[in-house]
Amino acid sequence: MRKVKKYVRVLLMGAVGCIISCTSVPKYEAPVEPVIAPVDVNVNFRFVASDTGIVNPDDDKRCYYKVFIDKIDAGRTTIGLESQKKYFEAKLSPNTHLIVIEKWVLHEKEGEYKKVNNILQPKPNYYYFETKKNAVTEILMLNDKKTNSAQYSVSVQ
């Protein structure tokens, strides 16, 4: 009988300990991706991408573009709907550079981003550009989702 009482007492103390520790768990907050203003970082190159030709909200998927500069993985753009602008910024040496992009779309059933089939990638998926020492080179890519044809425009600020 004493062993049973001792066993029950130990179980109760453990349960109380669990309850006390469980109440101190902080509330989960979804991570927010910071938006970095160009004034906050020293950049001389900005890539902005968005898709056009989307008429149905069900066809507007979450995506990002993987960015390769001079055939080296330089990172990725911010994540957003295809119709929204997505940004990538970097500090590059003054020279002529090659940018190659890959489109990645959220596969909602699997919950992960997957590279879009090569047939559906924006064409062309590359562009040559020049950066200068004291100026910001901005490339704007507009991809027509219906035809997968991309148009690039360059501005130097």
**Each residue's pLDDT tens digit, 31-68:** 454 444 444 558 999 999 999 999 899 989 999 999 99
- Return phi, psi of residue 62, to 5°: -75, 135
Q: Cα separation of 146 and 101, whole Å?
A: 18
Degrees, nearest 5: CA angle 78-32-90? 35
pLDDT averaged over consecutive 10-residue blocks of the chain (157 residues)?
Answer: 62 60 52 47 90 92 96 96 96 95 94 94 95 93 93 94
* Cα 62 off chain centre by: 9
Q: Supply the pTM of this predicted model.
A: 0.71
Residue-level length of the chain: 157
Place of tokens 């349960």: 15
Is 150 strand, coil or helix? Answer: strand
Q: In sequence order, which residues have a C-beta less than 8 Å from that of residue 91 and are 6 or more positions away?
A: 41, 42, 43, 44, 45
How far is it, in rounded angstroms, from Cα 65 to Cα 128?
17
pLDDT at 51: 95
Which domains occur in the chain, in start order? 45-156 (2.60.40)
Sheet of strand 45-52, all strands in order from the earlier edge strand to the far edge:
86-90, 45-52, 137-144, 149-156
DSSP-assigned beta bridge partners for residue 141: 49, 152
* DSSP secondary structure, 103-145, as one string: EEEEETTTTEEEEPPGGGS-BS-EEEEE--TTS-EEEEEEEET
